[in-house]
Amino acid sequence: MEIKLSVPDDVVDAVAKRFPDKNNKKAVAAAVAQLAFHDWADWLSAHTRHRTISAMHQARIRAIFAHPDLYAGKSVKRGTLFNQWNIPYGEASYIERVFAEMELPHLIRTALKAIKTELGEQLKEWGETPVEQREQTQQFTVEVDKYGQNLLQALMQDAKEQGLTMAPSERSSAVNGYYSYTFVVEEAKEVLVRCEQQLKRYE
């Protein structure tokens, strides 16, 4: 059923400001209105009775991150909860951990696939270059977020425990929270092998 609502412009603007990366204000407002309708319908029918404010926050956040016009497919981050929706930082951190635990297998697969793709493509291109034209000091760089960094460091630690040398250069970006690691060819190959081995456990 299609329902038309009349909403003051200032309310639509206020909602849109909470989704600064979305350009279509009407689509955002419509999505939030749809979620609000479902929320109230569940409450009125006694289908949902949240025992705590945190439980209510989690239910609403889950709905936002499942809606195709909002944040479907994205991971719950404390920065979004705190900066965009004014959830206290401590609670935002807790909620981020809760959702991360639920998404853990997916997050691991996604991060490992990203590392595999970046290093794999660079190594493939290097390997297809005629030997006489290869740069023997060729460097291979992979960029990861904080979660990917933890996985990458675990892969490097495994290599070190096997007696291999791992001394990549590291650069972090304070702006977007990403970390770049630059490897020489042998390091990149060892990381790629271990990345592929780990991926098999989650496929």
> Which 3 state secondary structure label does DSSP give 201?
coil
Residue 29: which domain range? 9-74
Question: Domain for residue 119, yes or no?
Answer: yes
Rounded Cα gap, residues 86 and 24, in angstroms: 22
Q: What tokens does 97 get?
A: 């951990």
* Residue 69 and residue 111 in one domain: no
Residue 41 has what pLDDT?
87
Residue 136 has what pLDDT?
67
Question: Nearest-CA neighbor of 104 among 82, 84, 142, 76?
Answer: 76
Q: 179 with 153: CB under 8 angstroms?
A: no
CATH number for position 130: 3.30.70
Q: 63 with 70: CB under 8 angstroms?
A: no
* Residue 109 and residue 70 in one domain: no
Question: Domain for residue 124, yes or no?
Answer: yes
Question: Domain for residue 84, yes or no?
Answer: no
**What angle (nearest 5°) sits at the alpha carbon of residue 148, between those of residues 143 and 149?**
75
Whether the model clears a pTM of 0.75, i.e. scores above it, the answer is no
Residue 62 has what pLDDT?
87
Rounded Cα gap, residues 74 and 189, in angstroms: 30
- Total number of domains in the chain: 2
Question: Domain for residue 87, yes or no?
Answer: no
Q: 13 with 27: CB under 8 angstroms?
A: no
* Residue 123 and residue 179 in one domain: yes
Over residues 55-100, the pLDDT tens digits come to: 888 888 888 888 888 987 788 888 889 999 988 999 888 988 888 7
Residue 32 has what pLDDT?
92
Question: Domain for residue 44, yes or no?
Answer: yes
* Residue 127 and residue 195 in one domain: yes
Question: Domain for residue 193, yes or no?
Answer: yes
Per-residue pLDDT of the chain (203 residues; tens, 9 = 90+): 777 878 888 988 899 899 988 888 888 998 999 899 888 888 888 887 888 888 888 888 888 888 888 987 788 888 889 999 988 999 888 988 888 777 777 778 888 999 999 999 999 988 888 877 777 668 899 998 877 888 898 898 888 888 888 888 887 765 567 889 999 889 999 999 999 998 888 77
* Residue 70 and residue 119 in one domain: no
